[in-house]
Structure 1
Amino acid sequence: MQSISPVIFMVVIIALVLWRRMRAAAKPVKGNGYRMLLPLLFLGFGILGLLNPQLHLTVKEVTLSLLFGLILSVPMIMTTNYEFREDGQIYPKKSKAFIFALVGLIVIRLALRSYLSGLDPAELGMLFYLIAVAYVVPWRVVSFVKYRKLLAQRGSVLSQ
């Protein structure tokens, strides 16, 4: 029963992310795009967990987690794009590849969780947190840059 609950939890998370993503694709991105960077602020607080004296993570484990997260950010970055629509607003592009990238990411995390099950739960949690930070930060920053480029293009088109 205990192995089923993380799967159910992940299915619920996937469903919520996909629901949110589909809703967001129907609405234009508002403002200058700085709200895309807000999750980075919230993620920053979790880094303080590295100061926990109960954690015995090696530099190698932390480095590998961060590198693995960076690798996982690549499909997320490639499948997140924005577009102008006929009303002159900028919208997130709908992408089936994003859904596959997200599901693949969750499957990889579940496989890693069972592979690394011998670790202390606090250490395992911190390693997964580091992986998440390492794929969310580049993905959000690149998404922000992509949006700002389109915003600048829209500004130059409107000024002509």
Structure 2
Amino acid sequence: MGHAFPINPHIMIPIGILTMAVTVLFFRLRATKKPTSAKKILIPPLGMSTGFLMFLYPPTHIPLWWAGLAFLAGMVFLSTPLIKTSQLEIKNNQVYLKHSRAFVLVLVVLLIIRFSLHNYIEQHISIFQTAALFFILAFGMILPWRLVMYYKYRKLMKQLHTDISSS
């Protein structure tokens, strides 16, 4: 009979967050080499929205005002630097995500802030409630960021179609 290793959430959660951050950086750097599309911009928040199913599990329940504050904090403080460092450009009659060193720096700073907040908050509420809060914080960050990117994308596509039809 094999021995089961207990999973320590205090170790696994930071490893999970770090893995996700490295994955985001990897995909972001790859994304600048290929044209983008509305689908590539909108699928991440749609896919992430399935995470709201966690709230079917009662230990993740948090007061509504906590959720509102977490969403607002993500929207105001975390999405703003991502929006400012995510630029799109037209190259070869297609829309590309512009490579930005500032974006990588912003992601690293956001990761550090998130780790610090996570460790502090986790001391005061359950690990499940902490996960719920940080999910909502992240969703509050990604949704406005991707909606602004989609708006910029549509604007560039309109410009591209106007330029093509006028030539």
Q: Stretches of 4+ moved more than 6 A in 1?
A: none
Taking structure 2 as the reference length, what is the TM-score of the superposition? 0.84
**Which residue type is aligned with residue 85 of structure 2?**
T
In 2 relative to 1, CA 154–101 (structure 1 residues): closer, same or farther, beyond 3 Å? same
- Over the residues paired in the alignment, what is the CA RMSD in angstroms? 2.0
Sequence identity, in percent?
34
Q: How does 1:7-156 map to 2 (within 5 A)?
A: 7-30=14-37, 33-71=38-76, 72-85=78-91, 87-118=92-123, 119-156=125-162
SS in 2 for 1:122: helix
In 2 relative to 1, CA 15–44 (structure 1 residues): closer, same or farther, beyond 3 Å? closer
Residue 163 of structure 2 is matched in structure 1 by 157
Question: For residues 156 and 84 of structure 2, what CA distance do their matches in structure 1 show?
Answer: 16
Q: Does the CA contact (< 8 Å) of 1:34 and 1:144 recur in 2?
A: no
**Which residue type is aligned with residue 160 of structure 2?**
R
Structure 2: which 5+ runs fail to align? 1-7
Shift of 1:56: 4.4
SS in 1 for 2:58: coil
Question: For residues 45 and 6 of structure 1, what CA distance do their matches in structure 2 show?
Answer: 19
Shift of 1:44: 2.2
Question: For residues 51 and 147 of structure 2, what CA distance do their matches in structure 1 show?
Answer: 18
The total of aligned residue pairs comes to: 157
SS in 2 for 1:45: helix
Taking structure 1 as the reference length, what is the TM-score of the superposition? 0.87
